[in-house]
Structure 1
Amino acid sequence: MTLEDLRRMLADCAGEGDTVGIQDDISDTPFTDLGYDSLALLETIARIERDFGVALPEDLVATLDTPRSLLAEVQKASVPVD
């Protein structure tokens, strides 16, 4: 999953339909500054699970503050455990 994938998902989950408002590098911009609350993040996480087959715990939402932190968790969850 890339930052661009996440950017599209955030826009879709917020009902924007495009990436208006999140055109710049959003990696380290807090979700609150981007206008995303915990409900929007839960919807985004559900979509990540569906589209990318990655299981993320719902309580993770409280610990995520930036797109970079969400992408890091997706990468960790994507790595097979031996």
Structure 2
Amino acid sequence: MTIDDLNRILVACAGEADSGPLTEQRVDTTFEDLGYDSLARMETASRIADEFGLSIPDDQVMELRTPRDVLDLVNSLVRA
């Protein structure tokens, strides 16, 4: 999964971040600071699971604090 993939899915699920599109410079910014709440994270995780054929437990989703956390998790699951 790339930053562009994640940005596309975030926008589809919850709209564009308050501060604009996700970039490499902002990948470590918390979802809260980007303007995304827990519901947005859950919807995003569900879409990612569907698109990439993954199973991501809800408790694991709630531990994801930044876009980098999501990218790291998804890419580790895809490689597994």
Alignment TM-score, normalising by the size of structure 2: 0.84
Map of 1:14 onto structure 2? 14
**Does structure 2 retain, via aligned residues, the 8 Å contact 1:22–1:34?**
no
SS in structure 1 at match of 2:54: coil
Structure 1 portions without partners, runs of 5+: none
Question: Could you list the per-position Cα deviations for residues 18-76 of structure 1 after superposition, in whole angstroms to 9, with x for gaps in the alignment?
Answer: xx722543211110011111111100000001111121111112211100011111112
Who wins on radius of gyration, i.e. which is larger?
A: 1
Aligned-residue CA RMSD (Å): 1.6
* Partners of 1:61 and 1:11 in 2: CA distance: 18
- Listed as ranges, the matches of 1:1-82 within 5 Å are 1-16=1-16, 21-24=20-23, 25-80=25-80
Structure showing the higher helix proportion among its residues: 2
Structure 2 portions without partners, runs of 5+: none
Alignment TM-score, normalising by the size of structure 1: 0.82
* Partners of 1:55 and 1:23 in 2: CA distance: 24
CA gap 1:41/1:23 in 2 versus in 1, 3 angstroms: closer
**Deviant stretches of 4+, over 4 Å:** none
